[in-house]
């Protein structure tokens, strides 16, 4: 097993092995919560918390998990963390929780979380797994924030609720792009981001067999 350096483990998932852009995981929540920046950021923080701790927890007990219940054990740990995060958001950010409560629950099904638990945390130490969790969650967050900024600015003319482009309906000049408010726009933006990323990092382009 190659010894991964902590710095690589933390920074690779940002541009080199981005979970959304290269591994194409966790795209569903990226579509759902990115119509506004505040919900996207809450989602990102939740995923960072869940991914880092689930990776660490799975790594901590990896030698004791019976093979036959491996996946269920990972799922239980992830579900527990997600529930705790959801409870916190409801206690401290009630307004935002009303917007994203459903989607926070769906972090349990986010392929990135299960994927890293299985692919990395089961085979590496606690410290490294924790960093891998943070790294992948940061890679996920990077994409989400970029998409959310584009969608909120073009779709609503605002950022974090603060008006940037005055809408025509408010007496201004900007006609909001309705497509940006719908989930498919996130899909298109992610596609364009993947294209841009692979133009910069040509080694990510898939080889034709």
Partner 1 sequence: MTTSDADPRASQPAESRRGFETPPRDTVSRTLFVAAVLCVCCSVAVSVAAVLLRPGQERNKLLDRKKNILMAAGLYPEGATASDVDRLFERVETRLVDFETGALLEEDPADYDQRDAARDPDWAVEIARDKDFGNIKRRAKRGLVYFVRENGALKQLVLPVHGKGLWGTMYAFLALQPDLNTVVGLSFYEHVETPGLGAEVENEKWKEHWRGKRLFDDKAEEIVIRHIKGKVNSKTPNAIHRFDGLSGATITTRGVTDLLRYWLGDDAYGPFLKRQKN
Residues that bind partner 1 (CB under 8 A): 1, 32, 35, 63-69, 72-73, 76-77, 79-80, 83-84, 87-88, 90-92, 94, 98-99, 102, 123, 169, 181-183
Min dist. Cβ of residue 7 to partner 1 (A):
23
Whole-angstrom distance, CA of residue 14 vs CA of residue 198: 13
Min dist. Cβ of residue 196 to partner 1 (A):
26
Which are the contacts of 196, defined by CB distance < 8 A and separation ≥ 6?
A: none
Which are the contacts of 67, defined by CB distance < 8 A and separation ≥ 6?
A: none
Q: Whose Cβ is closer to partner 1: residue 146's or residue 182's?
A: 182
Min dist. Cβ of residue 90 to partner 1 (A):
5
Neighbours of 89 (CB within 10 A): 20
Q: What is the 3-state secondary structure (H, E, C) of 139-185?
A: HHHHHHHHHHHHHHHHHHCEECCEECCCEHHHCCCECCCHHHHCCHH
Q: Whose Cβ is closer to partner 1: residue 14's or residue 60's?
A: 60
- For the record, the structure tokens of 42 come out as 């809450």
Q: Whose Cβ is closer to partner 1: residue 135's or residue 155's?
A: 155
Min dist. Cβ of residue 155 to partner 1 (A):
9
Q: Whose Cβ is closer to partner 1: residue 76's or residue 199's?
A: 76
């Amino acid at each position: 097993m190659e010894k991964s350096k902590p710095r690589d483990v933390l920074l690779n998932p940002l541009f080199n092995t981005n979970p959304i852009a290269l591994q194409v995981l966790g795209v569903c929540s990226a579509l759902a919560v990115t119509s506004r920046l505040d919900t996207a950021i809450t989602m990102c923080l939740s995923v960072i918390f869940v991914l880092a701790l689930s990776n660490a927890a799975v790594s901590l007990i990896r030698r004791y998990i019976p093979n036959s219940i491996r996946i269920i054990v990972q799922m239980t740990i992830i579900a527990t963390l997600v529930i705790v995060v959801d409870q916190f958001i409801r206690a401290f950010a009630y307004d935002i929780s009303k917007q994203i409560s459903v989607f926070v629950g769906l972090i349990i099904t986010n392929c990135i979380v299960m994927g890293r638990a299985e692919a990395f945390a089961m085979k590496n130490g606690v410290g490294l797994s924790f960093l891998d969790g943070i790294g992948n969650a940061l890679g996920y967050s990077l994409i989400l924030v970029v998409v959310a900024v584009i969608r909120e600015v073009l779709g609503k003319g605002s950022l974090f609720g603060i008006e940037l482009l005055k809408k025509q309906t408010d007496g201004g000049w900007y006609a909001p792009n309705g497509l940006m408010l719908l989930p498919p726009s996130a899909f298109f933006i992610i596609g364009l981001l993947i294209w841009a990323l692979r133009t910069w990092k040509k080694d990510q382009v898939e080889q034709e067999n």
